[in-house]
Amino acid sequence: MTSIASSSSLRGRLELAAQSVGKITLFLALLAVPALPYAVLRFLIEGSLCVHWSLTAVITLACLAFCAYRIVPAVTSSFASNWWKTGINVNSALGMYIFVGVFALTATAAFGGLSAILYQVRPSWVQYTTTRDSITSGALTDLYAWHLLDMVPAIDIWKSLGVDAPPVTSATRAGGLLVLAYKIIIAFPLITIACRWIAWRMDTAKKLA
């Protein structure tokens, strides 16, 4: 009996370890969604032809649309169950953090690419000032990454580090509108998924009471 119980316990631990590995693998795969177009955007086509910028932006925006489709619960009623089948429950804290991170990174890469296109095609619309040597796709992506971290409440990341302004600053209204649109797009799905998660937790607590 002791050996059977020990074998069952070991099997349970192995299954739990396999599930953990599966979740970590899925998490890394999800991070590749924004990471791949970001890497292409920043390192491979910087300073190249506008058509390359456009193709990369289309791919990145498609990734952003996919993330939005999976994150916003109002889009599909089977949202939670579909992702549960892949190994991560979006209603859990882990699932929420993962999808929030993936969406934020993808939006940052997408807006960095969009700003780069407008800067090359219509420089009169979007103009930037920078403390760096030149305006590059990496610098424009860093602009949105700066605002992403600046949106974290109550921490004041940049003030704590003594950084008063982003590496790139918009000098036109169109550039400012892009930053505003980025913040709205980031905030809406995050608030939506946070409200859904809180509602799920309250419903679970009522069932257990």
CA atoms within 13 A on the CB side of 94: 10
CA distance 172 to 162: 26
pLDDT for 104 equals 79
pLDDT for 29 equals 57
CA distance 95 to 74: 17
Residue 4, pLDDT above cutoff 60 = no
* Distance (Å) of CA 2 to CA 12, 122, 143, 207: 15, 75, 61, 37
Greater confidence (105 vs 45) lies with 105
Residue 68 near residue 76 (C-beta atoms within 8 A): no
* Distance (Å) of CA 126 to CA 52, 109, 135, 168: 19, 18, 12, 12
CA distance 146 to 15: 41
Q: What is the separation of C-alpha 99 from the centre of its chain, rounded to a whole number of angstroms?
A: 7
pTM passes above 0.85: no
Percent of the chain with pLDDT over 90: 0
Residue 21, pLDDT above cutoff 50 = yes
Percent of the chain with pLDDT over 70: 44
Split at pLDDT 50, 70, 90, the class of 169 is: confident
pLDDT for 17 equals 64
The tokens describing 24, both together, are: 């970590």
For the CA atoms of 164, 168, 174, 177, the dihedral, rounded to the nearest 10 degrees, stands at -50
Split at pLDDT 50, 70, 90, the class of 205 is: confident
CB-based contacts of 6: which residues, under 8 Å, 6+ apart?
A: none
Residue 125 near residue 172 (C-beta atoms within 8 A): yes
The residue-averaged pLDDT of 70-80 equals 48
pLDDT for 8 equals 62
pLDDT for 86 equals 46
Q: Which of 14-28, 108-122, 161-175 has the highest mean pLDDT?
A: 108-122
Q: Which of 30-39, 85-94, 142-151, 156-165 has the highest mean pLDDT?
A: 142-151
What is the overall mean pLDDT for the chain? 67
Residue 77, pLDDT above cutoff 50 = no
